[in-house]
Chains A and B, each alone.
Chain A
Amino acid sequence: MHRRPKEVRDVKKIGFLVNPVAGVGGRVGLKGSDGARIQEMAKKLGAVPEASLRALAALQKASGLTDQIVFLTAPGVMGEDVVKQTAFPYEVVGTLPDGATTAEDTIRIAREILESQADLLMFAGGDGTARNVCEAVGMELPVLGIPAGVKIHSAVYAYNTKNAGEALEYFCNESRNRYEEAEVMDIDEEAFRGGTVRAKLYGYMRIPVLHRCMQSVKSGGYSEKEHVAGIAESVVSQMTPGAYYVVGPGTTTIPIMDRLGLPHTLLGMDIVKDGKLIKADAAEKDIYDLTKKGEVYVILTVIGGQGHLFGRGNQQISPRILRAIGRKHCMIVATKSKLLSIAAGRLTVDTGDIELDMELAGYVRIITGYQDSVMFKIES
Chain B
Amino acid sequence: MRRDYKTYLRRFHEAKWDEEIIFDLSVPGQRGIIVPAAEAQMVEAVGKGSSKIPQGMKRKKLPNLPEVHQMRVNRHFMRLTQEVMGADVTPDLSQGTCTMKYSPKVQEHTAARNENLIDVHPLQDVSTIQGILEIYKKTEEMVCEISGMDAFNFHAGGGAAACYEGACVVRAYHKSRGDDKRDEIITTIFSHPCDAGAPSTAGYKVVTLMPNEDGIPDLEAMKAALSERTAAIFITNPEDTGIFNPRIKEYVDAAHEAGALCYYDQANVNGIMGITRAREVGFDIIHYNLHKTFSSPHGGMGPGCGALGVREFLKPFLPVPRVEKDGEHYYLDYDCPESIGKIRTFMGNAHVVLRTYMWIKQMGAEGIREAAVCSVLNNQYLMKQVSKIKGVEVYYALGKRRIEQCRYSWNKLKEDTGFGTVDVTKRLIDFGMQHYWQSHHPHIVPEPFTLEPTESYSKDDLDEYAAILTEISRECYEEPEVIRSAPHNAPIHAILTDEVDDFDKIAVTWRQWQKRIQAGTMKDA
Contact = CB atoms under 8 A, between A and B. Distances in A.
Q: Which of B13, B205, B482 has the most chain A CB atoms closer than 10 A to its own CB?
A: B205
B206 A176 contact: no
Contacts of A362: 224
A5 B485 contact: yes
Interface in B187-201: 189, 196, 200
B488 A2 contact: yes
Given A220-B441, A363-B221, A2 B482 contact: yes
A212 B415 CA distance: 13
Given A1-B489, A4-B485, A212-B422, A372 B196 contact: yes
Interface string A202-235: 0000000000110110111100000000000000
B412 to A, nearest CB: 13
B121 interface: no
B206 A373 contact: yes
Contacts of B493: 3-5
A169 B497 CA distance: 17
A345 B210 contact: yes
A377 to B, nearest CB: 7
A215 B442 contact: yes
A27 interface: no
Contact of A363 (B224, B422, B498): B224
A178 to B, nearest CB: 9
A85 B60 CA distance: 73
Q: Which of B206, B208, B221 has the most chain A CB atoms closer than 10 A to its own CB?
A: B208
A371 B489 contact: no
Contacts of A3: 485, 488, 493
Given A2-B485, A162-B415, A218 B207 contact: no
A345 B213 CA distance: 10
Interface residues of B, number: 38
A4 B482 CA distance: 9
A372 B208 CA distance: 8
B496 to A, nearest CB: 6
Contact of A374 (B13, B204, B208): B208
Contacts of B414: 213
A337 B502 CA distance: 23
B497 A371 contact: no
Contact of B498 (A174, A345, A376): A174
Interface in A325-376: 336-337, 339-340, 345, 362-363, 365, 368, 371-376
B486 to A, nearest CB: 9
Interface string A283-298: 0000000000000000
Interface in B202-218: 204-210, 218
Contacts of A339: 210
B122 interface: no
Contacts of B442: 215, 220, 336-337, 340
A50 interface: no
A40 interface: no
A166 interface: yes
Interface in A290-337: 336-337
Contacts of B485: 2-5
Interface string B402-433: 00000000000011001010100000000000
B196 A340 contact: no
B206 A371 contact: yes
Interface string B476-511: 000000100100110001101111011000000000
Contacts of A212: 420, 422
A231 B225 CA distance: 19
B220 interface: yes
A1 B208 contact: no
Contact of A169 (B189, B224, B418, B501): B418
B206 A377 contact: no
B225 A365 contact: yes
A176 B499 CA distance: 9
Contacts of A176: 498, 502
Contacts, number: 84
Contacts of A166: 418
Contact of B225 (A4, A336, A363): A363
B252 to A, nearest CB: 18
A372 B209 CA distance: 11
Q: Which of B209, B210, B497 has the most chain A CB atoms closer than 10 A to its own CB?
A: B210
A219 B425 CA distance: 15
B61 interface: no
B491 to A, nearest CB: 11
A215 B210 CA distance: 16
A362 B494 CA distance: 48
Contact of B444 (A5, A340, A373): A340
Contacts of A4: 485, 493
Interface string A156-174: 0000001000100100001
A253 B206 CA distance: 20
B483 to A, nearest CB: 11
B443 interface: yes
A373 B205 CA distance: 8
A84 B222 CA distance: 56
A363 B418 CA distance: 37
Nearest to B497: A218
Contacts of A377: 218, 221
B443 A215 contact: yes
A375 B207 contact: yes
A374 B210 contact: yes
Q: Which of B414, B442, B493, B501 has the most chain A CB atoms closer than 10 A to its own CB?
A: B442
A64 B419 CA distance: 13
Given A5-B493, A166-B418, A215-B443, A372 B210 contact: no
A371 B418 CA distance: 37
A142 to B, nearest CB: 17
A56 B353 CA distance: 64
B413 to A, nearest CB: 13
Contacts of B221: 363, 375-377
Contact of B224 (A1, A372, A375): A375
Interface string A71-92: 0000000000000000000000
11 contacts: A1-B488, A2-B485, A4-B493, A64-B418, A175-B498, A220-B441, A340-B442, A365-B207, A368-B208, A375-B208, A375-B224
Minimum-distance CB pairs A-B, first 5:
A363-B224, A220-B441, A375-B221, A4-B485, A371-B205
Interface of B: 13, 189, 196, 200, 204-210, 218, 220-222, 224-225, 414-415, 418, 420, 422, 441-444, 482, 485, 488-489, 493-494, 496-499, 501-502
Given A337-B442, A373-B205, A373-B208, 15 more contacts: A4-B485, A5-B485, A5-B493, A5-B494, A212-B422, A215-B441, A218-B501, A220-B441, A363-B225, A372-B205, A372-B208, A373-B207, A375-B221, A375-B224, A376-B221
